[in-house]
């Protein structure tokens, strides 16, 4: 027994080290996919049938196991494609595509021989892995500067980078109170890692020398720049408590997930924000507006991180056919909202900017990033068919609604949030489970689509003016609500579960 535990500990250590080395946030609660039976059923397993992922979906269903088992599941490939039309103005789109290869889930379920009413599990899983990296530029001739005759070169560069991971390390157990009723609980240490960068750099300048107020200038440029940067690893704790009632033809389950508790530890913390404006004139008077530069950077102990997650409650119902060859799974989960809060904050430098700038730019809490969440209700449906002995077909569908779309940050400022494309996702899954020599091999696909129309543009670079007084935006036009986003993803899964002590 001691040797078996040492082998399990070694496997967990190797996997955890590899996982940490693989490093963006989607703002969807049900993006996760653990790449085993529960994933092929789209996570509709709170009412039973969760298999190795019971520790996550409903820890009381850990009691469904009849033998100890080691599970390892990974995503062979995930192909992600994002297209955001009119993101930076009419006809100026953003596109991105990524291929991800990584492990996702490993667990060891234990059925103690001396205490058959107990079932235990330890697990490492990836709850979310999101990556976005998009860049676009605009280069054209236009007459944008009020005090300069003729056309100028208008050059803008936009860069967006968002890399987010949410890894969970946990243990749990289930106790059978009767043949039909089980209770259970699990505890997780979550590690949320974010690296986010948003940059917009715009220049407008004549290609020849100019005279301004009879002064000869061999080179003249009007410019605007803004940059946000945030990076951290935040370690938090949360608990899950479940109940499962199971009869021959049906089972019902509920699971409560607590809000996460922070303040345990955080590292890799860096926060920076910069905004700069030069040679911009007022559209009404033609007079020059003040030049300014506001920039600051803090890191490590000077930065405070508080990345919250909400309370949620899930309920599921599972129905079994008479011959137990067909099973229908349903699950709904309600996620409570989070009032606007400060995700990251740090004290600013006393030399942040000159006094005159405060009249033009909101500098209060310059190094603060804010967050929050709307209440969300998601639903999932799964179906399992035992095609023949040792072969099962599974399929499922689930919603995955965005908790940041149209979110009201008041009294905090939305401009200080982590920006991104807010999409509702829909996941369709399917695959096979094959038992060979008493061991389970699982393979399948997941297709995800997200589509949203008439969102507000990130910026308007297609119809720029020298100074947009509506939004206080230099060298940009007024943003329109005509941004249309489309996301497609295809993932190929493979998993293996090794059973110990059961019938072969």
The residue extents of the domains of the chain are 2-133+161-193+232-270+309-346+367-500
Q: Which fold has domain 2-133+161-193+232-270+309-346+367-500?
A: Porin (2.40.160)
Instruction: Identify the band that residue 126 occupies on the pLDDT scale cut at 50, 70 and 90.
Output: confident
Structure letter (DSSP) for residue 63: G
* 344 contacts 195 by C-beta, under 8 angstroms: no
Give the pLDDT score at 356.
Answer: 63
Pairing, β 181-205 against β 68-85: unpaired
Cβ burial, residue 359 (10 Å; 0-12/13-18/19+): exposed
pTM: 0.89
Instruction: Identify the band that residue 503 occupies on the pLDDT scale cut at 50, 70 and 90.
Output: very low
* 387 contacts 393 by C-beta, under 8 angstroms: yes
57 cis-preceded (ω within 30 degrees of 0): no
Quick one: which of 380, 376, 369 has its CA closest to 401? 376
Give mean pLDDT, residues 287-312. Answer: 93
Give the pLDDT score at 309.
Answer: 94
> Does residue 504 surpass a pLDDT of 50?
no
> Does residue 100 surpass a pLDDT of 90?
no
> Does residue 28 surpass a pLDDT of 80?
yes
Give mean pLDDT, residues 345-353. Answer: 88
Give mean pLDDT, residues 420-424. Answer: 92
Structure letter (DSSP) for residue 466: S
The first and second tokens of residue 190, run together, are: 């979550």
> Does residue 10 surpass a pLDDT of 70?
no
Quick one: which of 92, 126, 91, 93 has its CA closest to 107? 126
Give the pLDDT score at 78.
Answer: 83
Structure letter (DSSP) for residue 52: G
Among 125-129, 140-144, 368-372, the minimum mean pLDDT is found in: 125-129
Cα angle at 368 between 363 and 372, to 5 degrees? 125
């Amino acid at each position: 027994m001691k040797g078996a535990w040492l082998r399990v500990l070694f496997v967990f250590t190797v996997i955890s080290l590899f996982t940490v080395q693989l490093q963006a946030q989607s703002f969807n609660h049900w993006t996760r996919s653990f790449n085993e039976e529960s994933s092929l059923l789209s996570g509709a397993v709170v009412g039973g049938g969760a298999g190795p992922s019971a520790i996550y979906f409903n820890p009381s269903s850990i009691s469904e196991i009849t033998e100890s088992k080691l599970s390892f599941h990974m995503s062979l490939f995930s192909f992600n494609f994002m297209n955001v039309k009119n993101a930076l103005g009419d006809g100026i789109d953003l596109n991105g595509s990524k291929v991800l290869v990584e492990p996702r889930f490993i667990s060891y379920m234990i059925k103690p021989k001396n205490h058959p009413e107990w079932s235990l599990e330890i697990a490492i899983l990836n709850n979310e892995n999101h990556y976005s990296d998009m860049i676009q530029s605009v280069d054209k001739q236009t007459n944008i500067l009020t005090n300069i005759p003729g056309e100028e070169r208008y050059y803008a560069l936009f860069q967006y980078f968002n890399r987010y991971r949410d890894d969970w390390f946990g243990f749990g157990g289930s106790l059978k109170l009767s043949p039909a009723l089980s209770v259970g609980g699990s505890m997780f240490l979550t590690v949320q890692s974010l690296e986010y960068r948003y940059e917009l750099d715009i220049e407008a300048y004549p290609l020849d020398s100019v005279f301004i107020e009879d002064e000869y200038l061999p080179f003249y440029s009007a410019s605007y720049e803004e940059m946000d940067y945030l990076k951290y690893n935040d370690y938090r704790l949360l608990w899950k408590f479940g109940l499962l009632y199971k009869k021959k033809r049906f089972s019902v389950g509920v699971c409560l997930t607590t809000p996460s508790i922070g303040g345990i530890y955080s590292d890799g913390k860096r926060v920076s924000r910069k905004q700069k404006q030069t040679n911009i004139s007022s559209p009404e008077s033609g007079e020059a507006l003040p030049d300014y530069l506001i920039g600051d950077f803090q890191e490590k102990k000077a930065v405070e991180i508080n990345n919250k997650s909400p309370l949620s409650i899930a309920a599921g119902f599972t129905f079994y056919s008479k011959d137990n060859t067909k099973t229908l799974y349903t699950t709904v989960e309600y996620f409570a909202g989070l009032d606007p809060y400060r995700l990251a904050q740090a004290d600013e430098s006393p030399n942040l900017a000159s006094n005159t700038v405060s009249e033009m730019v909101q500098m209060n809490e310059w190094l603060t990033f804010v967050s929050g969440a709307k209440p969300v209700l998601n639903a999932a449906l799964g179906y399992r068919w035992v095609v023949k002995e040792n072969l099962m077909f599974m399929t499922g569908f689930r919603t995955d609604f965005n908790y940041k779309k149209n979110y009201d940050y008041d009294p905090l400022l939305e401009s200080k949030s982590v920006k991104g494309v807010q999409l509702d996702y829909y996941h369709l899954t399917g695959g096979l489970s094959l038992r060979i020599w008493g061991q389970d091999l699982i393979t399948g696909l997941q297709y995800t689509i997200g589509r949203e129309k008439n969102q507000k543009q990130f910026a308007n670079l297609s119809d720029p003016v020298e100074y947009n007084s509506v939004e206080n935006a230099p060298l940009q036009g007024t943003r329109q609500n005509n941004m249309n986003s489309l996301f497609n993803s295809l993932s190929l899964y493979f998993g293996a579960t090794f059973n110990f002590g059961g019938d072969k």
